[in-house]
Amino acid sequence: MSEEIILGGPRYVSKRPADPKRTCDPAAMEMLECAACRGEQTVFDRYAAQTPQCPFGLAGICCRICIQGPCRINPKRPGAEKGICGAHDYTIVARNVARYVAGGASCHSDHGRHAAVALLHTAEGKLPDYKITDETKLRRIAGRLGLEAEGKTAAELAKEVATEALRDYNDRMGEPCSWLDTTITEGRRAKFKHCDIAPDGIDKAIVQLIHGTAMGMDADPVNIIFRALRTALADYTGMHIATDLTDVLFGTPEPVISEANLGVIKPEYVNLAIHGHNPILSELVVDAARRLDDEAKAAGAAGINVVGVCCTGNELLMRQGVYLAANQSSQELAIMTGAIDAMLVDIQCIQPSIRAVAECYHTKIITTSDIVKIPGSYHFDFREEKAMETAEAMVRLAIAGYAERNPERIHIPEHKCTVIAGWSLEAMIDLFAKVNPERPVSVLTDAILSGELRGVCLVAGCNNLKGSHDEGHLTIAKELAKNDVLVVATGCAAVAYAKAGLMSPQSVDQYAGPGLKAFLGRLAAAGSPEFGLPLVFHMGSCVDNTRAEDLMTLMANELGVDTPKVPYVASAPEAMHEKAMSIGSGCVALGFPTHVGVMPHIEGSQLVYGIATQIAHDVYGGYFIFDTDPESGARKLLSALDYRSWKLRVHRQAAERYGTAAAASW
Ligand code: XCC
Ligand code: SF4
């Protein structure tokens, strides 16, 4: 009997050798070759099997929100130029996009809610395994929210802050959400009020968007898209809550050195991979792993090696210096090394396929959330009340897995790179403060005004196999760094940079243009961390994008302008998840020129395309740039930066020569 049948039935066997263009990560390439010769299926094979993809879906003109449908818009077929109910292409495209945004906002905000409830219960003394780690940040948040902090204990204040956060989820009856309102510029506040897109409740914004895009509701694409922007700002609010409150619970990240790529998996250790997004679980598991190291040794291993996958990996790297193994598209490949004893998952971006891959190995897949179950996996009902107990039980399962390994199936690529991570907004400000303690952000804005830097770019987001894995990320960052742009990154983009060595100190000499090199050199001379500075700054997981957005707000305030005038752009070269759609839309509302390197499903309506690329610009100052060629995407980002910095300089000169009133009229 063949091994395949013993291992759980016939499997799809890849007939094709691994295509060298599928990834530009050498470790992933090595594993893809390995998978091809073992006849194992990966996400790369399934992507190929799905092509060509449905043109109606790709254009966004397939509607299936009522069961009279699905309707497909076909302009060439009389009667089919509209849906059965009469919905035009523009209505259908806009509704589909809006529902993506609602989906993304649900993910981030539910994550934020979890953090708020955990903080509340910690403050109430109900969660013995959690504590308030960063009281300074707690007090700063309370101050920003206008809460009276004098004379209150950390627990009392945490209760108020958590309660205030939870209020942002409910209906604030016309008052904007406080996490949005207290973190944006004066100008944005006025703009959002004027356009009526400041959410007055996260859940409300999501529900109303789903309601408004149901059958027989809003048919006006401009109205639908602008309401989607309100939900995107609700997404921002939820993300900000998540980041702030997890910092309070587990500490605000500080510069840290570690390593990334599949080479961090160590054959002699119990390897426990943690995958997903939620530090409320993973922080405890890291603690549990440290406690149970001796049990692993007793089982014959050298100890426990925790490695991170996707954004939970980013969170653990940022706060604990835990190794990063893989991003979204390479999650299966980590299991295929044959040396992962357990993969523990929490929420979001967990491919159901990991279970099928694990079937060919000894790896135990452990799900932990009641909204994420994968048939055939172990499930632990993770609750904060008995967090450590559950975390230890899960770690013990990994230890048990160590003895079940098949040595013949172990293949670990040697590739790994040094990573300097931990760049929370606070860490960035501390770095700038070494040069100018009074006005730290001016160190960055002055470098732009003097022409040393051309601006800042946030590269965020996922992997998407419509392009070569990680290639979009790497091309954009190298191109921008060469042209003196300071690049900050989050999510799977950050993992791509970590794996490719773009977060190592050596990468500065290799890729930075003269201006960026001089800028980073100045920071280093003033007292950067002993291990040096990276080329690309890791600002966290995808839920941490508000760290990078806050930097934009600080720069705007420093320059005395609103955000659409700040030379700061955003890019999602490999956007995939609904969350990327909501983050990108939020960036546009906040005033970022926002490049997306994968064509979203909007080409079926010229009108919606125009709203995203032009009308958004006219109204909000931010806009989308869609370009699937990363080099040309980078050029467009550079020209957006140059246009803004040129205007800033002209404005400065006019102010110096003719006074601020004359300069204010531009
Ligand atoms: Fe998921 Fe965050 Fe995207 Fe990566 S980056 S594919 S959302 S893990 Ni956020
Ligand atoms: Fe078709 Fe209209 Fe139903 Fe959409 S809402 S599926 S366009 S009938």
Q: Whose CA is nearest to atom 6 of ligand 2?
A: 69
317-365 residue pLDDT tens: 999 999 999 999 999 999 999 999 999 999 999 999 999 999 999 999 9
Question: What integer pLDDT is reported at residue 4 of this predicted model?
Answer: 35
User: What letter represents residue 594's amino acid?
Assistant: T
Question: What integer pLDDT is reported at residue 655 of this predicted model?
Answer: 83
State the distance from the centre of ligand 2 to the C-alpha of 82, rounded, in angstroms.
9
pLDDT of residue 208 exceeding 80, the answer is yes
Read off φ and ψ for residue 257, nearest 5 degrees. Answer: -110, 140
Atom of ligand 1 nearest to the CA of 310: 8
Q: In a mutational test of the pocket of ligand 1, which residue from 243, 458, 579, 583 has the highest number of ligand atoms less than 8 Å from its CB?
A: 579
- Please list every protein residue whose CB sits less than 6 Å from any atom of ligand 1: 277, 310-311, 328, 349, 461-463, 491-492, 541-542, 576-577, 579-580
Read off φ and ψ for residue 644, nearest 5 degrees. Answer: -70, -40
- Find the mean pLDDT for residues 451-470: 97
pLDDT confidence bin for 663, thresholds 50/70/90: low
Regarding the beta carbon of 71 and ligand 2, being less than 6 Å apart is answered yes
Angle ∠(559,561,566) on CA atoms, nearest 5: 75
Q: How far is CA 322 from CA 364, 444, 490, 622, in A?
A: 20, 29, 16, 36
Query: In whole angstroms, what is the distance from residue 289 CA to residue 273 CA?
Result: 11
Indicate which ligand has the atom closest to the C-alpha of 275: 1
pLDDT of residue 255 exceeding 50, the answer is yes
Q: With contact defined as beta carbons under 8 Å apart, do 509 and 482 qualify?
A: no
Q: Whose CA is nearest to atom 3 of ligand 2?
A: 66
Query: In whole angstroms, what is the distance from residue 293 CA to residue 384 CA?
Result: 22
Q: In a mutational test of the pocket of ligand 2, which residue from 56, 63, 82 has the highest number of ligand atoms less than 8 Å from its CB?
A: 63
Q: How many CB atoms lie within 10 A of CB 15?
A: 8
State the distance from the centre of ligand 1 to the C-alpha of 542, rounded, in angstroms.
6
Q: Whose CA is nearest to atom 4 of ligand 2?
A: 63
State the distance from the centre of ligand 2 to the C-alpha of 53, rounded, in angstroms.
21
- Find the mean pLDDT for residues 129-136: 98
State the distance from the centre of ligand 1 to the C-alpha of 557, rounded, in angstroms.
30
Q: Whose CA is nearest to atom 6 of ligand 1?
A: 462
Q: What is the distance in angstroms between the CA of the first residue and the CA of the last residue of the chain?
A: 78
Environment class of 151 (CB within 10 Å of its CB; exposed 0-12, middle 13-18, buried 19+): exposed
Q: Tokens at residue 143, please?
A: 């101050």
Environment class of 17 (CB within 10 Å of its CB; exposed 0-12, middle 13-18, buried 19+): exposed
420-430 residue pLDDT tens: 999 999 999 99
Q: How far is CA 659 from CA 413, 486, 565, 646, 651, in A?
A: 62, 31, 19, 18, 10
pLDDT of residue 8 exceeding 80, the answer is no
Q: Where are the beta strands (DSSP E) in 264-377?
A: 270-275, 304-309, 323-326, 342-345, 364-367
State the distance from the centre of ligand 1 to the C-alpha of 657, rounded, in angstroms.
48
Burial 545-559 (b: 16+ CB within 10 A, else e): bbbbbbbbbbbbbbb
State the distance from the centre of ligand 1 to the C-alpha of 327, rounded, in angstroms.
8
State the distance from the centre of ligand 1 to the C-alpha of 381, rounded, in angstroms.
24
Question: What integer pLDDT is reported at residue 660 of this predicted model?
Answer: 64
- Find the mean pLDDT for residues 368-382: 97
Question: CA gyration radius for the chain?
Answer: 25
State the distance from the centre of ligand 2 to the C-alpha of 62, rounded, in angstroms.
9
Regarding the beta carbon of 63 and ligand 2, being less than 6 Å apart is answered yes
- Find the mean pLDDT for residues 436-463: 97
Question: What integer pLDDT is reported at residue 229 of this predicted model?
Answer: 98
Query: In whole angstroms, what is the distance from residue 323 CA to residue 334 CA?
Result: 13
Question: pTM of the entire structure?
Answer: 0.95
Question: What integer pLDDT is reported at residue 12 of this predicted model?
Answer: 41
pLDDT of residue 85 exceeding 60, the answer is yes
Question: What integer pLDDT is reported at residue 662 of this predicted model?
Answer: 52
Q: Tokens at residue 396, please?
A: 């013990």
State the distance from the centre of ligand 2 to the C-alpha of 75, rounded, in angstroms.
16
Question: What integer pLDDT is reported at residue 527 of this predicted model?
Answer: 86
Helix (H, G, I), strand (E, B) or coil at 530: coil
Regarding the beta carbon of 73 and ligand 2, being less than 6 Å apart is answered no
Q: 411: Cβ–Cβ under 8 A, 6 or more apart, which residues?
A: 30, 31, 34, 336, 337, 338
State the distance from the centre of ligand 1 to the C-alpha of 460, rounded, in angstroms.
9
Share of the chain above pLDDT 90, in %: 94
State the distance from the centre of ligand 2 to the C-alpha of 599, rounded, in angstroms.
24
Helical segments of 39-176, H only:
43-50, 55-59, 89-123, 135-145, 154-167
Read off φ and ψ for residue 14, nearest 5 degrees. Answer: -65, 125
Indicate which ligand has the atom closest to the C-alpha of 69: 2
Regarding the beta carbon of 518 and ligand 2, being less than 6 Å apart is answered no
Q: With contact defined as beta carbons under 8 Å apart, do 617 and 592 qualify?
A: no
DSSP label at 514? H
- Residue 538's DSSP bridge partners are 489
pLDDT confidence bin for 3, thresholds 50/70/90: very low
Q: How many CB atoms lie within 10 A of CB 92?
A: 30
Atom of ligand 1 nearest to the CA of 311: 2
Residue from 223, 129, 144 nearest 179 by CA: 144
User: What's the whole-number average pLDDT of the chain?
Assistant: 95
Q: With contact defined as beta carbons under 8 Å apart, do 581 and 101 qualify?
A: yes
Regarding the beta carbon of 612 and ligand 2, being less than 6 Å apart is answered no
